Amino acid sequence: IQMTQSPSTLSASVGDRVTITCRASQSISDWLAWYQQKPGQAPKLLIYRASNLEAGIPSRFSASGSGTEFTLTIRSLQPDDFATYYCQRYNLYSWTFGQGTKVEIK
Amino acid sequence: EVQLVESGGDLVQPGGSLRLSCAASGFSVSNNYMTWVRQSPGKGLEWVSLIYGGGATYYADSVKGRFTISRDSSKNTFYLQMSRLRIEDTAMYFCARGRGNYFPYFATWGQGTLVTVSS
């Protein structure tokens, strides 16, 4: 199963609403996670099971989707949100990341 | 506090071997999903291997037959033994703890250890 994110790069301003899309090459139900990674840091879990917000993650992050199409939305982009975001499908025996979406300052 | 600390990264020649360690604190590695994920310089994330609490192990096709994941409950540490290393194995290697009622996603991450394969 391949995971494809779009766009690869996104230029936005503080306060903007930002949406990232992740598509699976075949249905993965809702077995999808989203991660945020900043330069020089480890990834951080944002969302699991497609739409569940991880504890401690700000509520401006939300996600939805099932089957083959998923979205991550940042309601009002904050300076701390400029980073690269990865989707990941998971099951019992394999885990696949999307190629990443870099959110940069416009 | 739940924490993961990787070690063991180094410069190694192609064909060589290396063992990475991931020391855990705040929980037991023996009854958790533990995994390795790598990131080549300037590239995205690639899952490498995972070990279940029950001991089942899984590997990415790119490392199958060359890498082995294991754990030592007495040291609360898990490992990635890497052999027949290739230049394309050069990456930052992160360890992580999985979580999930059915299938594991990666909830807690270490800061990574750098493996460079070069002659």
Question: What are φ and ψ of residue A77, in 5° steps?
Answer: -60, 130
Q: In this predicted structure, what is the pLDDT of residue A66?
A: 98
Chain A CB contacts of B100 under 8 Å are: 48-49, 90
Nearest CA in chain A to B97: A45
Residues of chain B in Cβ contact (below 8 Å) with chain A: 35, 37, 44-47, 50, 58, 60, 94, 99-100, 103-107, 109-112
Give the mean pLDDT of B42-61: 97
Does the beta-carbon distance from A88 to B105 stay under 8 Å?
yes
The residue among A81, A41, A79 whose CA lies nearest residue A62 is: A81
Q: In this predicted structure, what is the pLDDT of residue B109?
A: 98
What pLDDT band is residue B55 in, cutting at 50, 70 and 90?
Answer: very high
The amino acid sitting at B32 is: N
The structure tokens 């089957």 sit at: A67
What pLDDT band is residue B78 in, cutting at 50, 70 and 90?
Answer: very high
Cβ proximity of A3 and A98 under 8 Å: yes
Segment A38-94, tens digit of pLDDT: 999 999 999 999 999 999 999 999 999 999 999 999 999 999 999 999 999 999 999
Angle at B118 (CA atoms; ends B112, B119), nearest 5 degrees: 155
A92 touches chain B (CB under 8 A): yes
Residue B64 and residue A59: Cα distance in Å, rounded? Answer: 39
Q: Which residues contact B12 (CB under 8 A, 6 or more apart)?
A: B18, B85, B115, B116, B117
Q: Which residues contact B36 (CB under 8 A, 6 or more apart)?
A: B20, B22, B47, B48, B49, B50, B69, B80, B93, B94, B95, B96
Residue B40 and residue B38: Cα distance in Å, rounded? Answer: 7
- Sheet of strand A69-74: strand arrangement: A3-6, A18-24, A69-74, A61-66
